Structure 1
Amino acid sequence: MIPKIQELINQAQDRYLASDELGLMESYVSSLPDRLKLYKLIRDREIDILQSVADQVPSELPNVTVEDLELGIKNLVLVLRYSSMAMLLNDENFLKERLLSWLEGIMSMRDLRRLNDTLYKLLNQTLRQQFSPSQLALLQPLITAAQVTLIY
């Protein structure tokens, strides 16, 4: 949304914003307190969320190596952080431009599809336990975009 807001501001340098343009800006501004609150919650709970995921992996995938698990969790940390920032900005392109194309290239070097599938399943379960449905609605589409990119 920030690029859209910047575009609106640039377009309105010699005129007032139209009603629909103001509506876009009002929508973003009114959702900002909820986005900020969720961003702070994710930041403060990141270690607990990811530790919960990491602790459950061995029972789901008993043959996973420590090296692969560490790599998977490191990538999941990046996905959670970039998804959180994209959620705060309300800008899915931020996630795509900054993270997903890079991660897609990294992940294609090793076959970690089964591990990634398990990590995202466990992450989604943990997020559902930690956050309200309205909070999940802000974050989930971004996590899903990362999941789709890395698994399929």
Structure 2
Amino acid sequence: MHPQIETIFDEAEHRYLKPEELGVINQYVNSLPERLDAYRTLRDRELEIMQQVADQLEATLPNEPVENLERSLKNALLLLRYSAMGMLLNDEAFVQSRLLSWLTTTISIHNTQAIDTSLFRLLNQRLTQALTAKQINLLGPYIAKVQTAILQSPTLAAAGN
């Protein structure tokens, strides 16, 4: 559940909700149909989206070992799924706690940052084609959070120097 809504419900245990609290709940409820639609689109088109990204990635980086490309693609698939769930829940902490805590370490260990940089660019391009502008606006912050964390991790900064 959306953490702010959960907090509102917890704090209002023995009272009626305040107008501003109802506003937060109303805003989330009103955005839910669009969030559900974006989630369904991602779920239903995931294979198509990721296959196109995989094909482009392989063409862009022909000298990279296949196992590295596959590892990065699997991570991107998880990034997409966790971002979609975070968007549906409207909860950035969900992505942080469930994905980022281990993904940045995995990427650093396997040294796939260069692949991931290209992959994120291709994924963003493909998502822009597959989703509506409104859906991109809902999903974008979650994907951006993951991409920023991965591309600005301390290991990457050290590698760039």
Aligned-residue CA RMSD in angstroms?
A: 0.9
The amino acid across from 2:31 in the alignment is S
Match of 2:25 in 1: 25
Which 10-residue stretch deviates more, 39-48 or 142-151?
Answer: 142-151
1:1-152 alignment, distance < 5 Å: 2-152=2-152
Give the fraction of aligned pairs with identical amino acids, expressed as a percent: 46
Compare 86-95 and 106-115 and name the one that shifted more.
Answer: 106-115
Cα deviation for residue 55 of structure 1 reads 0.2
Question: 1:82-137: per-residue Cα shift (whole Å, max 9, x none)?
Answer: 00000000000000000011101111102211100000000000001111111100
TM-score scaled to structure 1, two decimals?
Answer: 0.97
CA displacement 1:61-99 (0-9 Å, x = unmatched)? 121111001100110110000000000000000000000
Unaligned ranges ≥5, structure 2: 153-161
Q: Distance in 1 between matches of 2:84 and 2:54?
A: 19
One-letter amino acid of the structure 2 residue matched with residue 90 of structure 1: N
Equivalent pairs counted in the alignment come to 152
Where do 4+ consecutive residues of structure 1 move more than 4 Å?
A: none
Under a length normalisation based on structure 2, what TM-score does the superposition of the two structures give?
A: 0.91
State the alpha-carbon separation in 1 of the partners of residues 58 and 82 from structure 2: 26
Unmatched segments (≥5 aa) in structure 1? none
Distance 1:109 1:81 in 2: 22
- Helix, strand or coil at the partner of 1:22: helix
C-alpha distance in 2, partners of 1:88/1:133? 16
Secondary structure at 1:13 match in 2: coil
Q: Distance in 1 between matches of 2:2 and 2:134?
A: 21
Residues of 2 paired with 1:128 and 1:22: CA distance? 33
